[in-house]
Amino acid sequence: MSANGNTFSSFPVLPLFLLVFIFYLNFVSRVIMAPLLPIVEADLGFSHGQAGSLFFFVAFGYGAGLLGSGFVSYFLTHRFTITLAGMMGGVSLILISRSQSIGAIHAGLVFIGFFAGLYLPSGIASLTELISKKHWGKAMAIHELAPNAAFITAPLLAEFLLRFLSWRGALHALGVWTILMPVLFLLFGRG
């Protein structure tokens, strides 16, 4: 027990960090194409314009996901919306890793954006449900480290994965990781 009578249990660390890692992977899945783009362009013969269009499709899907998140969470609850969003984002990465055309990659990126958009409202709702009100500021600050960490580490992660795998293998590995984190949240998290 601390000096002011608060216990560590009022700040559930494991569920918070599971949410943070899901948000981190959510963000990495949206920005990982940037460091992979030169290799993807060369492999599939895309022009720079076609390659640049990829980010439009992620943004389009993300906007649609944000708009539809309330409907989805109404039927699934926030906990299952987070799980669905993470798992389907991972499946989308795996499907993109197998894509042979720009159209298939565009479709996969719309899905990544859509499922990423489903996460944020449910993630914030779960965070505020899990954490007592007096700790919301700390919890939000920790949660919001995820996008910043993703921007910094996505190129490093891509470089690391490309040392051992092709760009397709890198997306596949990231997809598997992105599927596993929501499963851990479903098993060990709350919200």
Name every residue whose Cβ is closer than 8 Å to that of residue 138 and which is 6 or more positions away in sequence. 11, 131
Q: CATH number for the domain including 150?
A: 1.20.1250.20
Domain count, the chain: 1
Q: Residue 23 and residue 3: Cα distance in Å, rounded?
A: 33
Kindly state whether residue 30 falls inside one of the protein's structural domains: no
Residue that the structure tokens 């719309």 belong to: 110
Q: Residue 24 and residue 104: Cα distance in Å, rounded?
A: 25
| Per-residue pLDDT tens over the stretch 14-53 | 888 899 999 999 999 999 988 998 888 888 887 777 777 8
Tell me the average pLDDT of the chain.
88
What does the longest C-alpha to C-alpha distance in the chain come to? 63
Q: Report whether 181 contacts 22 (CB < 8 A).
A: yes
Kindly state whether residue 1 falls inside one of the protein's structural domains: no
HSE-CB at 82 with a 13 A cutoff on CA atoms is 32
What average pLDDT does the segment 105-127 reach? Answer: 92
| Per-residue pLDDT tens over the stretch 141-178 | 888 899 999 999 999 999 999 999 999 999 999 999 99
Q: Residue 77 and residue 56: Cα distance in Å, rounded?
A: 29
Kindly state whether residue 32 falls inside one of the protein's structural domains: no
Residues in the chain: 191
| Per-residue pLDDT tens over the stretch 58-94 | 999 999 999 999 899 889 888 899 999 999 999 999 9
Looking at residue 181, its pLDDT comes to: 92
Kindly state whether residue 8 falls inside one of the protein's structural domains: no
190 pLDDT more than 90: no
Q: Report whether 10 contacts 135 (CB < 8 A).
A: yes
Looking at residue 1, its pLDDT comes to: 41
Q: Residue 149 and residue 191: Cα distance in Å, rounded?
A: 24
Confidence band (pLDDT; 50, 70, 90) for 191? low
6 pLDDT more than 60: no
Confidence band (pLDDT; 50, 70, 90) for 2? very low
What average pLDDT does the segment 109-134 reach? Answer: 90
Kindly state whether residue 55 falls inside one of the protein's structural domains: yes
Looking at residue 150, its pLDDT comes to: 94
Kindly state whether residue 137 falls inside one of the protein's structural domains: yes
Looking at residue 77, its pLDDT comes to: 87
Confidence band (pLDDT; 50, 70, 90) for 130? confident
Q: Residue 69 and residue 63: Cα distance in Å, rounded?
A: 10
Q: Count Cβ neighbours within 10 Å for each residue of 76-90 and write b for 16 or more, e otherwise.
A: bebbebbbbbbbbbb
Joined tokens for residue 107: 């479709």
Q: Residue 126 and residue 28: Cα distance in Å, rounded?
A: 21
Joined tokens for residue 135: 């700790």
Q: Residue 52 and residue 161: Cα distance in Å, rounded?
A: 22
Tell me which residue range forms the domain holding 177: 47-188
Kindly state whether residue 42 falls inside one of the protein's structural domains: no
